[in-house]
Amino acid sequence: MSLLKQFDQRSPAEVGEELYRFARELFPICRSITGDGIRRTLAMIGDRLPLKIHEVQSGTAVFDWTVPKEWNIRDAYIKAPDGKRVVDFKKSNLHVLNYSMPIHARMPLSDLKPHLFTIPKYPDWIPYRTSYYQENWGFCLTHNQMLALQDGDYEVCIDSTLADGHLTYGECYLPGRSDDEVLISCHACHPSLANDNLSGLTVATFLAQLLSGANLRYSYRFVFVPGTIGAITWLALNREAAARVRHGLVLTGIGDKGNFHYKKSRRGDAEIDRAMTHVLKNNTESPEILEFSPYGYDERQYCSPGFNLAVGCLMRSVWGSLPEYHTSADNLDFIHPAQLAESLRVCTAVSDVLERNRRYCNLSPYCEPQLGRRNLYRSVGGEPIGAEINARLWVLNLSDGEHSLLDIADRSAIPFAMISDAADLLFESGLLKTVQSEHTHETGRRPLPPAENRKSS
């Protein structure tokens, strides 16, 4: 049974609730690109998956970059002249400029102000700001909080450490029949932000669970990494695995109510680009397909010219297009069970296309084979044929070794699943043989078992 049919056997509402529950568990953790927050996050994913945790020492050279010192934080606050905490890390971990140096000092408001970040346009939201590679300290607060600050001396405390340690990332590898890999990548470094990127983390985790039970054609590698530096580190330390990546996806911002947006890989015509386009157009409302651009999430690194991997990025609302982006408004109210479940379904459907897409050769290529005597046609002539028979004719006509099932699905405007089902049936009827794929060392049906062992898959 196809992955998608398997997925569709469960209630979407139930799946959505499970995804949402996991996101809610992960939400409070103060993550950063290093430190115990991401470590704890990975441990919770590891409770659900065979996840291998990697620790990479600070100072390790990774291409043009260096793994930074490890940052950890216990507390942070600003106390007003009257001794009250007016900004308090314990209320929201967004309040601290992520990667802030430790500080404990008393200073007048005028000295404090250059270290305060707000969003005047949304005066009740806390912005999310970072300073990973430039030593600094600061607080993020609502604009209204800042306006309320009176002149006077403030106690400023950031109880953080920045010291040699490690960068942590997690990998879940699901071996398939081929060494060729599908890469699913999520950044796991954002603190209490829900859509960016607990949505990606939860969907990826559930997708890995779903795939781990299947007889897979491809091997799948899920990487949960800190953004930018983590993807760079993974690529630097895993160049052989990177060379095996045939298809890949960055999953991010897939829990909100926006329509899907898929940003194509730098190649623009990779199979993942075509598969995702097909799935979104056949399964979702008004999806948008975006051309590659070099700014965005970790596809920036996977699609750098030296790698140029076939990795696209699946989103709903495009980051930055909504005001909630990188603010405290990207919270658990901003993501929804139904949207998370639909995103997981899309990822499952794309996996299905990758798993089932192949090229066949019609073994009876001169004229149509007589489908009627194989009970693959209608019995009374004169009436138009049905959709399933039409799919069979398409597969037979275009199975010349040049066209993949996805090519046929696109050209015929028939959903991939129906085309692929038709191919299965024709293969079982002995009308098709598989063709060695150009990409993979695996043909999906190779070696053909002796005839008595061949049954419907």
Residues of this chain that bind a second copy (CB under 8 A): 62-65, 97-98, 117, 127-134, 136, 228, 231-232, 235-236, 266, 291, 293-295, 300-301, 303-308, 320, 326, 362, 364-370, 372-373, 379-385, 390, 393-394, 396-400, 411-412
CB 320 → a second copy: shortest distance, Å? 5
Cα-Cα end-to-end distance for the chain: 7
CB 384 → a second copy: shortest distance, Å? 5
With 0-12 CB in 10 A as exposed, 13-18 as middle and 19+ as buried, what is 93?
buried
Of 278 and 300, CB closest to a second copy: 300
Of 96 and 211, CB closest to a second copy: 96
Of 123 and 306, CB closest to a second copy: 306
CB 440 → a second copy: shortest distance, Å? 23
Q: Phi and psi dihedrals of 310, rounded to 5?
A: -80, 70
Tokens of 199: 């949505």
CB 396 → a second copy: shortest distance, Å? 7
- 412 CA to centre of own chain: 29
Count, residues in the chain: 457
Of 138 and 165, CB closest to a second copy: 138
CB 63 → a second copy: shortest distance, Å? 5
User: For strand 219-225 and strand 181-187, is the pairing parallel, antiparallel, or unpaired?
Assistant: parallel
Of 158 and 210, CB closest to a second copy: 158
Of 330 and 352, CB closest to a second copy: 330
Of 339 and 399, CB closest to a second copy: 399
Of 176 and 296, CB closest to a second copy: 296
CA angle 385, 388, 389 (to 5 degrees): 45
Of 98 and 339, CB closest to a second copy: 98
Neighbours of 61 (CB within 10 A): 9
Q: How far apart are CA 200 and CA 252, in angstroms?
A: 5
CA angle 20, 211, 34 (to 5 degrees): 60
CB 84 → a second copy: shortest distance, Å? 27
Separation in Å, CA 264 to CA 1, 17, 35, 292, 308: 29, 30, 32, 5, 12
CB 72 → a second copy: shortest distance, Å? 18
Separation in Å, CA 70 to CA 59, 166, 197, 351, 400: 10, 6, 21, 36, 56
CB 128 → a second copy: shortest distance, Å? 5
DSSP character for 102?
A: P
Of 104 and 373, CB closest to a second copy: 373
Q: How far apart are CA 113 and CA 402, in angstroms?
A: 65
CB 204 → a second copy: shortest distance, Å? 21
Q: How far apart are CA 259 and CA 243, in angstroms?
A: 32
CB 374 → a second copy: shortest distance, Å? 10
Question: What b/e readout covers 211-240, taking b as 16+ CB neighbours within 10 angstroms?
Answer: beebebbbbbbbbbbbbbbbbbbbbbebee
